[in-house]
C-alpha cells in the first residue's frame, strides 16, 4: 500500500490500473536504485580519496561497475538495452511481485526518474559552484579565460579535422564532426574536481572555470554550424547569429540584472518566516535561470551557474551555501554514478574485430584531445608563476558535451560506425583521465591541499557559527 | 542542448529520437513544475503562518489553487485529465517548441517524476520526524497510543458502517468500505502540523504520533480484510495473519536491530572522509528500511520513520538533523502541494445534481469522522492535565490513506458513485480542517508557541554551534 499512487481526489475515483504505471513499483525501483547509487558512490569516492585521487573519479568508476559495462544493476533504456537486462527489475520481479507485463513500463519510469534526478544533481552542482565562485574574480581573468577557450576550440578542431582527413582519408563532413567533438569541455567534471582538491578559487581554477563556461557556449555554436553543414551542406547563418546573440545576452543580462535582483532576493528572504525561507527562493531563482538557459538552447546548468554567481554577491551566501551542501550531497552523486553507469566500456574491447579500426582512430583522437587542450594552457599570459599545465589539463574532460556531437553526427548519418566509436572512446578516456591528471599536476599540494581543504572547511564552519548566531539573534528579536 | 538526454556511451550511438521521450523537454517541464510548486508553497505557507495557521495548510491550499480544481498548472494523468489540460504543457508548446505529438509522453514523464519526488518528500519528512522523536518517549506512551489507535479505528468504523446501513439503506459491503475509510489517520499531515507548532515532543504529540503509526498499520490490516471481503465475500485469513506478523516483526525488528545497528552506523560515518559522509549512509539506511516496509506491504514512510527513530539514538543525531533539514525543505513541499493539486474540489459543488446525494452522505461521514476521532482522545488515561481534545483532533486527518480505501472500493465496484464521492469529500474536509483545528486547540500557545518555537530553534542552533565546533575540531585533528 503506497502513498501517492492512489491519491486521486477526482471522480471517477480510480485511474484504470492497467492503463497507468504501477507507481508503487516505480517508487520501490527508485528506492533500490538510489540505495545502489549511494552505496557505490560512497565506496568509490572513499577508495578514490584514500589513494589520493578526487572522489568524483571513484563515483564515476562506481557507476561503471553497476552500469551497462559490468553488473547491469543500473541500466537505461537506450540502444539495445531493455528492461530484461536490468538486475533491479529482475530483483523486483523475484522479491516484490513485479509482473513481467508491467516491467517495461516500470523500467521506463524508473529510468526517467533517475535521469531527471541526475540532471537536477548537475544543476545543483553548478549552482553550488556558482555560489563558491566570485564574479569579480572570474571577470578579472576573463580575457585569459576567453583566450584559453578559443584556442582550446580552434587547436583540437583544426588538428583533429585535418589529421583525420590526411592520415585516415576520412571525408570532410565526418572529419569536421569528429573535430567538433574534440572542442568541448565538461564543466561538470572539471568544476567538481577543482572543488574537491580545494582549487576552485585559485587563479588556475578561475581561468579553467571561466574558459569551460565560454567553451560550453562556443561548443553549442560549433554544433549548430556543424549540424547545419551536415544537413544542408551549408551553414544556417541565422541560427548561428541567434545563438551568439542569445548566449551573450543571457550572460550579460544575468550579470546586470543580477546586481539589481540581489537586493530584492535578500529582502524577500528576510521577510520569509517559515521553513525553507532561504533555500526555496534560491531554488526558484536557480530553476528559472536554468529553464531560461535551456529554452534559448544553452544548457540548463549554465543558468544554474549564473544564478549561483548572482547569489554569491549577497550576504546570504554563507548560510545558503551551508544549506545547499547537504542537498548537493544527496543529488550530485546520482549524476556522476549515472554518467559512469551509461558508459559502455565494450567499445574499448580490442578482441572484437569491429572495434579495432575505431581503436586506431581513437588513439589519434585521444592524443589530439589531450595535446590540443594542454597547449591552450600555454597561451595564458600576464600571469607569472601560474600553473599553465594545470589549466590545460583542466580543460581535457569532454564529458557529455563531446557525446552530443557524436550523437548528432550519428543521427545525421555522417559518421561511420568506427569513427563514432572512436569519438566515444576519446570522450570516455578524457573524462576518466582528467581527474587523476588534474590531481597530479598540483603535486606540491598532496599534503598542503588536504590541510587547505580542511582549513577551508573550518573557515566555512567558523563563519557558519557567526551566521547562525546572527540568525539566532534575529529570531530572538522577532 | 541538454545534458543527459544524449549521454549514451553505448554503440549504436543514439537511441532513435522518435522512440524515446524527449528528455530535454522532460527536464524543462520538471523545472517549470518545481518553480510553480515552490512559489505557491512559500506563498501559501507564509500567508497561512501570518494568520496563525500551520504553514502546511497554506501549502495544501496553494496546491489546490495550481491543481486540477482551479488553475490546471500542475495536473496529473488521472481520471479524465490528459496532457492537453496541463497549462505547463501548453506553455512549453508555445515557448519551448514542444510538439503536440511529443506532449503526451513528456506529460506522462513529468507527472511520474513529480509524483516520485513527492513520495521521496514524504519519505524524507517521516525520516526527519523519526529523527525528532524519541523511541523511549514513544514507548512510554505506547499503551495510551495503542488504546487511542484501537478506539479510533473501532468507533468510526462501527458508527460509519451502521449509520450508512440504517440511515441511508446502503448494503453491507459498501458500508463496510466507507466505514473502513473512516478509520485511517494521515501521519504525514498530523506530524507536520505538530512539528510546525512545536508540539511534536509534547506528551500529546507523542501519543498522536504513536497512535498514527499504529493506526496506519491497523488500517492496512482493515483494508486487507475489507478488500478480500469485497472480492470473494469472505476474509483471507492468511493474508491478515501475514500482515499482522510482518508489521509486528518489522517494527520490533527495527527497534531491536536498530540498537545494534546504531553503533555500526556511527562507526561507518566516522570512517568516511568525503562529502556526504553522514547523510548518504543515513539515506542508504532509510531507503532500505522504506523499501523493506513497502515490500512487506506496509507503507514506505513507516520504514523511513523507523530508520529516523533508530538514528535518533545515535550521537550523530544533531548533525544529521541539521543536514536533513534543507533536504526536507526542498522535497517535502512537493508532497503537500501535490496532494493539494490532486484534490478535485469539483465534488463539493452542490450545483451539480449528481453531487447532492453524495453531499448528504458526506455530511454524515464528516460528522462521524470528526466525532469518532475526538472521542478517542477521551480514552487517554493516567495522564492528568493532558489535552485530550488535542489528541482526538490530531487523529482527524484521513489524508491519502483514506483515499486508498475509496480507491480500492471503487476499483472493486463495491462503491456507488455518490458514496465514493462522499468518501472523497470526507477525506478532503478532514485533511484540510485538521491543521487549523489542531492549532486552535492549543489556544494558550498562540503567543507562547511562537516564542517556544523560536527558542526551540535557537536551542537547535546553539547545539549546532557546538556540533560544528566538535566536527571542526575533528577535522583539524585528522
- The per-residue DSSP string of B414-466 comes to -S-HHHHHHHHHHHHHHHHHHHHHHHHTSTTHHHHHHHHHHHHHHHHHHHHHH
For the whole model, what pTM was predicted? 0.85
What percentage of residues in chain B have a pLDDT greater than 70?
88
When comparing pLDDT for A410 and A107, which is higher?
A107
Residue B442's pLDDT band (boundaries 50, 70, 90)? confident
Q: What is the pLDDT of residue B12?
A: 33
| pLDDT of B79 | 66
Chain A environment of B465 (Cβ under 8 Å): 465, 468-469
Interface contact B95, partner A, CB < 8 A: yes
Q: What's residue A73's pLDDT?
A: 94
Residues B207-218, mean pLDDT to the nearest whole number: 88
Average pLDDT of B403-415? 75
Mean pLDDT of all residues belonging to chain A: 82
Q: Is the pLDDT of residue B396 over 60?
A: yes
Taking an 8 Å cut-off on Cβ atoms, the answer to whether B280 and A462 are in contact is: no
Is B62:B357 a contact under the CB 8 Å cutoff?
Answer: no
Does residue B234 sit in the same domain as residue B298?
yes
A50 or A459, which is more confident?
A50
Same domain flag for B107 and B158 = no
Is residue B426's pLDDT more than 50?
A: yes
CA dist A409 to A226, A401, B6, B438, Å? 9, 13, 12, 62
State the total domains in chain A: 1
The answer to the question of residue A319 being in a domain is yes
| Chain B residues in contact with A197 (beta carbon < 8 A) | none
Indicate whether B293 belongs to any domain. yes
Summarize the confidence of residues B350-367 as an average pLDDT. Answer: 87
Q: Is residue B14 part of a domain?
A: no
- Chain A nearest-CA distance from B327, in A, is 5
C-alpha cell at B477: 585533528
Q: Do residues A415 and A423 touch, judged by C-beta distance below 8 A?
A: yes
The stretch B394-408 carries a mean pLDDT of 79
Q: State the pLDDT at residue B83.
A: 86
pLDDT the model gives residue B198: 87
Name the pLDDT band for B477 (thresholds 50, 70, 90). very low
Q: Give yes or no for A231 touching B (CB within 8 A).
A: no
Same domain, B370 and B455: yes
Looking at A377-391, B215-229, B323-337, which range is the least confident one? B215-229
Out of B35-39, B197-201, B346-350, which region has the weakest mean confidence (pLDDT)? Answer: B346-350
Nearest to B434, CA basis, from B182, B155, B56: B56
Best interface-test mutation with A: which of B6, B13, B422 has the largest number of A CBs within 10 A? Answer: B13
Q: Do A344 and B109 touch (CB under 8 A)?
A: no
Burial class (CB in 10 A: 0-12, 13-18, 19+), B271: exposed
Residue B344's pLDDT is 82
- Going by pLDDT thresholds of 50, 70 and 90, the confidence category of residue A16 is very low
B288 touches chain A (CB under 8 A): yes
Residue B131 pLDDT level (bands cut at 50, 70, 90): very high
Counted residue by residue, chain A has a size of 478
Q: Which of B110, B139, B198, B179 is nearest to B409 (CA)?
A: B179
The grid cell for B353 is: 445534481
Quote the CA–CA distance of B321 and B457 in Å, as a whole number: 12
- The secondary structure of residue B348, as a DSSP letter, is G
Chain A contact for B26 (CB, 8 A cutoff): yes
A76 within a domain of the structure (yes/no): no
Chain A to chain B Cβ contacts (< 8 Å): 371
Q: Is residue B477 part of a domain?
A: no
Same domain? For B383 and B457 the reply is yes
Of B85, B100, B117, which residue constitutes the final position of a domain?
B117
CB proximity under 8 Å: B 128-187 to A: none
Q: A451 and chain B: CB distance < 8 Å anywhere?
A: no
Q: What is the mean pLDDT of residues B75-101?
A: 87
Contact A112 B109 (CB under 8 A): yes
- The mean per-residue pLDDT over the stretch B181-207 comes to 88
Residue whose grid cell is 580545494: A198
Residues B136, B94 share a domain: no
- Please tell me the predicted confidence (pLDDT) of residue A251: 81
ipTM value = 0.85
End-to-end CA distance of chain A: 44
Q: How far is CA A275 from the centre of its chain?
A: 30
Q: Does residue A323 carry a pLDDT above 60?
A: yes
The dihedrals phi and psi of B79, each to the nearest 5 degrees, come to: 55, -125
Q: Is B136 a domain residue?
A: yes
DSSP per-residue codes, B18-79: TTS--HHHHHHHHHHHHHHHHHHHHHHHHHHHHTTS-HHHHHHHHHHHHSTTTT-SS--S-T
Per-state percent for chain B, helix, strand, coil, to nearest 5: 75, 0, 25
A76, A51 Cβ separation under 8 angstroms: no
**C-alpha span between B42 and B61 (Å, rounded):** 11
Q: Which among A8, A288, A298 is the nearest to B35, CB-wise?
A: A288
pLDDT of residue A9 exceeding 70, the answer is no
Contact B211, B149 (CB under 8 A): yes
Nearest to B3 by CA among A226, A398, A301, A327: A301
CA–CA dist A305, A192 (Å, integer) = 13
> Nearest by CB to A284, which of B39, B329, B403?
B39
What are the tens digits of pLDDT across the range A391-432? 999 999 887 777 777 777 777 778 887 888 888 889 888 988
B91 in a structural domain: yes
B155 grid coordinates: 468507533
Same domain, yes or no: B95 and B132? no
Instruction: Quote the DSSP letter at residue A416.
Output: -
Q: Are residues B429 and B306 in the same domain?
A: yes
Mean pLDDT confidence for A125-150: 89
pLDDT at A289 over 90: yes
Burial class (CB in 10 A: 0-12, 13-18, 19+), B19: exposed
Q: Tell me which of A455 and A55 has the higher pLDDT.
A: A55
pLDDT at B15 over 80: no
Q: Is the pLDDT of residue B53 over 60?
A: yes
Of A30, A119, A406, the CB nearest to B3: A119
Residues A452 and B42: beta-carbon distance below 8 Å: no
pLDDT at A46: 96
Segment 348-387 of chain B within 8 Å of chain A by CB: none
Cis peptide bond N-terminal to B116, omega within 30: no
C-alpha cell at B136: 523511549
Boundary (domain end) residue, out of B79, B101, B117: B117
Contact with chain B for residue A10, Cβ under 8 A: yes
Q: Does A31 touch chain B (CB under 8 A)?
A: yes
State how far residue A383 is from chain B, nearest Cα, in angstroms: 32
pLDDT in tens, A233-252: 777 788 888 888 888 888 88
Q: What was the pLDDT predicted at A166?
A: 94
Give the span between the Cα atoms of B268 and B171, in whole angstroms.
Answer: 58
Question: How many angstroms separate the CA of residue B241 from the nearest CA in chain A?
Answer: 16
Cell (9 digits) for A162: 585535418
CA dist., res. B236 & res. A180, Å (int): 65
Domain match, B125 and B113 both = no
CATH number for position B451: 1.20.1530.20
Percentage of residues in chain A having pLDDT higher than 90: 39
Q: What is the pLDDT of residue B475?
A: 43
Round to whole Å and give the CA distance between A382 and B343: 63
Q: What is the mean pLDDT of residues B400-404?
A: 73
DSSP notation for A234-261? S--HHHHHHHHHHHHHHHHHHHHHHHHH
Q: How confident is the model at residue B39 (pLDDT cuts 50, 70, 90)?
A: very high
Lowest mean pLDDT, pick from A52-61, A425-434, A438-447:
A438-447
Question: Do B454 and B353 reside in the same domain of the chain?
Answer: yes
Is residue A187 within 8 Å of residue A213, measured between CB atoms? yes
DSSP result, A50-105: HTTS-HHHHHHHHHHHHSTTTT-SS--S-TT--GGG-HHHHHHHHHS---TTTHHH
Domain boundaries, position A265: 133-332+344-440+447-459
Contact A339 B1 (CB under 8 A): no
Mean pLDDT, chain B, integer: 82
| C-alpha B267, offset from chain centre | 32
Q: Comparing B309 with B478, which gets the higher pLDDT?
A: B309
Residue A363 pLDDT greater than 60, yes or no:
yes
Q: What is the pLDDT of residues A176-216, one digit of tens each?
A: 889 988 998 888 888 888 888 888 888 899 999 999 888 88
- A331 vs B462, higher pLDDT: A331
Does A264 reside within a domain?
Answer: yes
Amino acid at each position: 500500500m503506497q502513498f501517492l499512487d492512489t491519491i486521486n481526489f477526482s471522480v471517477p475515483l480510480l485511474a484504470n490500473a492497467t492503463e497507468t504505471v504501477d507507481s508503487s513499483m516505480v517508487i520501490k525501483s527508485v528506492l533500490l536504485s538510489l540505495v545502489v547509487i549511494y552505496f557505490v558512490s560512497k565506496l568509490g569516492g572513499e577508495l578514490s580519496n584514500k589513494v589520493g585521487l578526487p572522489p568524483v573519479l571513484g563515483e564515476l568508476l562506481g557507476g561503471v561497475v553497476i552500469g551497462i559495462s559490468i553488473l547491469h544493476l543500473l541500466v537505461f533504456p537506450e540502444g539495445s538495452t531493455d528492461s530484461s537486462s536490468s538486475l533491479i527489475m529482475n530483483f523486483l520481479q523475484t522479491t516484490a511481485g513485479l509482473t513481467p507485463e508491467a516491467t517495461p513500463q516500470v523500467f521506463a519510469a524508473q529510468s526517467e526518474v533517475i535521469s531527471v534526478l541526475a540532471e537536477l544533481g548537475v544543476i545543483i552542482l553548478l549552482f553550488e559552484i556558482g555560489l563558491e565562485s566570485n564574479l569579480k574574480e572570474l571577470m578579472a581573468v576573463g580575457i585569459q579565460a576567453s583566450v584559453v577557450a578559443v584556442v582550446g576550440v580552434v587547436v583540437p578542431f583544426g588538428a583533429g579535422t585535418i589529421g583525420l582527413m590526411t592520415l585516415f582519408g576520412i571525408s570532410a563532413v565526418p572529419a569536421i564532426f569528429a573535430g567538433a567533438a574534440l572542442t568541448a569541455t565538461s564543466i561538470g567534471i572539471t568544476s567538481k574536481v577543482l572543488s574537491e582538491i580545494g582549487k576552485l578559487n585559485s587563479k588556475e581554477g578561475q581561468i579553467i572555470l571561466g574558459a569551460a563556461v565560454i567553451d560550453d557556449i562556443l561548443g553549442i555554436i560549433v554544433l549548430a554550424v556543424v549540424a547545419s553543414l551536415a544537413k544542408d551542406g551549408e551553414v544556417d547563418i541565422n541560427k548561428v547569429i541567434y545563438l551568439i546573440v542569445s548566449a551573450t545576452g543571457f550572460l550579460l543580462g544575468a550579470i546586470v540584472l543580477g546586481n539589481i535582483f540581489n537586493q530584492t532576493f535578500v529582502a524577500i528572504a528576510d521577510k520569509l518566516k517559515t521553513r525553507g525561507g532561504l533555500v526555496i527562493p534560491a531554488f526558484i531563482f536557480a530553476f528559472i535561470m536554468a529553464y531560461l538557459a535551456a529554452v534559448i538552447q544553452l544548457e540548463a546548468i549554465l543558468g544554474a551557474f549564473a544564478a549561483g554567481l548572482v547569489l554569491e554577491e549577497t550576504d546570504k551566501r554563507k548560510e545558503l551555501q551551508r544549506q545547499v551542501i547537504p542537498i548537493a550531497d544527496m543529488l550530485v552523486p546520482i549524476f556522476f554514478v549515472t554518467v559512469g553507469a551509461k558508459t559502455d566500456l565494450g567499445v574499448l574491447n580490442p578482441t572484437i574485430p569491429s572495434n579495432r579500426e575505431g581503436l586506431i582512430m581513437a588513439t589519434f583522437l585521444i592524443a589530439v584531445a589531450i595535446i590540443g587542450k594542454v597547449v591552450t594552457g600555454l597561451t595564458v599570459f600576464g600571469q607569472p608563476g601560474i600553473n599553465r599545465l594545470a589549466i590545460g589539463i583542466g580543460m581535457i574532460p569532454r564529458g557529455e558535451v563531446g557525446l552530443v556531437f557524436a550523437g548528432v553526427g550519428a543521427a545525421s548519418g555522417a559518421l561511420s560506425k568506427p569513427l563514432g566509436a572512436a569519438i566515444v572512446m576519446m570522450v570516455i578516456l578524457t573524462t576518466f583521465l582528467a581527474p587523476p591528471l588534474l590531481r597530479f599536476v598540483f603535486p606540491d599540494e598532496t599534503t598542503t591541499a588536504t590541510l587547505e581543504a580542511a582549513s577551508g572547511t573550518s573557515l566555512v564552519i567558523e563563519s557558519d557559527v557567526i551566521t547562525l548566531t546572527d540568525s539566532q539573534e534575529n529570531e530572538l528579536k522577532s
